[in-house]
């Protein structure tokens, strides 16, 4: 009968180990943070994700009395950083700062070394910035409705640029094509800068680009920004209409920025991090700095952010499938 008792002992040992591990995690959460916290940015210094991380890190350091640093791990459209954090210890000391490229990558027909829905615990979404729809000044339209009418009169002849294949800007253009039932040719660029340069030169008449790039050029009279792709008007510039206002109800394609932890991170740590982030982004000095950079401040619960991720994967997955988009 001995063999029948051995599994029971093994189960007992495993159960005890799990209980001890649970106690260790609880103790760790109570004393959090007890060492340096690393914010892992998906992209190189200077971009929106990095700016958000570096803006909030000092305030987290100030609040906790423990150093919070930013570490850039760029590569593979943000997947290098995401994989690194997904496979890091779930102790709250290695946190991913991501934008919605994370969910676009997950929606693409490709195999990733991590699962966005299973391998991360959502903390909070803290900011967003609109994708802008702009045209060269020579294009005879000043509204989304005017652009749709022009595109329908010239099916397959108008082209639009984006910051690259599979980017938020590319998918925003495809979403407009699908919802407005128009045919335009996509011209991908290797970055937002080159796309803006050719837009200014009139090489591509229509472009979807960051609001930062397009607003600056519109102010100089080199482009016309006719709408933003967010669900509602941006508090930073309420005069810009949304694409949804042109009759495309539900059109929503802004770029969000959020914090995520490895999946098994204790709930106490997630809650504490969420509370601090929501408090910090409401501070007038942080709010003002975000607005200067044309970020819209956002707050959320962990559950709200998780729901946003699930909804975006479903939304962009449909756009990608219908447009037959493949990763480069």
Question: Model confidence over 270-280: pLDDT tens digits?
Answer: 999 999 999 99
pLDDT confidence of residue 12: 54
Task: Using the predicted structure, report yes or no on whether residue 180 has a pLDDT greater than 50.
Answer: yes
Task: Using the predicted structure, report yes or no on whether residue 232 has a pLDDT greater than 60.
Answer: yes
Q: By percentage, how much of the chain surpasses pLDDT 90?
A: 84
Number of Cβ within 10 Å of residue 321's Cβ equals 11
Of the candidates 250, 249, 252, 206, the residue with the CA atom closest to the CA atom of residue 228: 252
Tell me the mean pLDDT in the region 56-68: 98
**pLDDT tens digit string along 234-286?**
988 899 999 999 999 989 999 999 999 999 999 999 999 999 999 999 999 99
CATH class of the structural domain 12-128+255-323: alpha beta
Locate 297 and state its tokens.
């401040």
Range in 8-22, 38-52, 178-192, 297-311 with the lowest mean pLDDT: 8-22
pLDDT confidence of residue 19: 53
Could you give the 3-state DSSP secondary structure of residue 99?
A: strand
DSSP 8-state code for residue 141: -
Query: Domain extents for the chain?
Result: 12-128+255-323, 131-246
Which pLDDT band, with edges at 50, 70 and 90, does 6 fall under?
Answer: very low
Q: pTM for the complete prediction?
A: 0.88
pLDDT confidence of residue 28: 57
Phi and psi torsions of 178, nearest 5°: -70, -45
Task: Using the predicted structure, report yes or no on whether residue 65 has a pLDDT greater than 80.
Answer: yes
Give me the half-sphere count of Cα atoms (radius 13 Å) on the Cβ side of residue 57.
22
Range in 2-6, 84-88, 322-326 with the lowest mean pLDDT: 2-6
Which pLDDT band, with edges at 50, 70 and 90, does 15 fall under?
Answer: low
Phi-psi region at 188: left, alpha or beta (left = phi > 0; alpha = psi -120 to 50): beta
Angle at 272 between CA 115 and CA 299, to 5 degrees: 75
- CATH topology identical between 12-128+255-323 and 131-246: yes
Of the candidates 322, 62, 291, 288, the residue with the CA atom closest to the CA atom of residue 173: 322
Locate 133 and state its tokens.
């729809």
Q: Reply yes or no on domain 131-246 having CATH 3.40.50.300.
A: no
Q: What is the mean pLDDT of the chain?
A: 91
Task: Using the predicted structure, report yes or no on whether residue 2 has a pLDDT greater than 90.
Answer: no
pLDDT confidence of residue 328: 77
Q: By percentage, how much of the chain surpasses pLDDT 70?
A: 91
Q: Measured on CA atoms in the order 162, 164, 165, 166, is the torsion positive or negative?
A: negative
């Amino acid at each position: 009968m001995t063999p029948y008792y051995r599994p029971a002992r093994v189960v007992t040992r495993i159960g005890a180990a799990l209980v001890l591990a649970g106690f260790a995690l609880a103790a760790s959460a109570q004393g959090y943070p007890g060492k340096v916290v690393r914010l892992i940015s998906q992209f190189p210094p200077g971009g929106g994700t990095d700016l958000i991380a570096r803006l909030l890190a000092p305030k987290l350091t100030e609040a906790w009395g423990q150093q919070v640093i930013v570490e850039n791990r760029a590569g593979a459209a943000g997947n290098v950083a995401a994989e690194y954090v997904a496979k890091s210890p779930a102790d709250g000391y290695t946190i991913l700062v991501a934008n919605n490229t994370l969910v676009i990558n997950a929606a693409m027909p490709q195999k990733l070394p991590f699962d966005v829905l299973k391998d991360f615990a959502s903390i909070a979404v803290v900011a967003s910035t609109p994708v802008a729809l702009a045209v060269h000044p020579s294009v005879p339209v000043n509204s989304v409705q005017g652009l749709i009418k022009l595109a329908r009169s010239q099916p397959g002849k108008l082209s639009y640029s984006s910051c690259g294949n599979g980017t938020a800007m590319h998918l925003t253009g495809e979403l407009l094509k699908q919802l407005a039932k128009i045919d335009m040719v996509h011209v991908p660029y290797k970055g937002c800068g080159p796309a803006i340069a050719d837009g200014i030169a009139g090489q591509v008449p229509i472009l979807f680009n960051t609001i930062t790039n397009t607003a600056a050029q519109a102010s100089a009279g080199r482009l016309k920004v006719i709408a933003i792709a967010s669900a509602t008007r941006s508090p930073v510039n309420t005069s810009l209409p949304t694409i949804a206002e042109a009759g495309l109800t539900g059109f929503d394609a802004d770029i969000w920025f959020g914090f995520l932890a490895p999946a098994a991170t204790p709930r106490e740590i997630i809650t504490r991090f969420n509370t601090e982030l929501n408090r910090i982004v409401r501070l007038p000095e942080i709010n003002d700095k975000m607005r200067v950079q044309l970020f819209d401040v956002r707050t959320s619960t962990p559950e709200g952010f998780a729901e946003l991720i699930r909804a975006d994967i479903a939304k962009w997955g449909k756009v990608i499938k219908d447009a037959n988009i493949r990763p480069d």
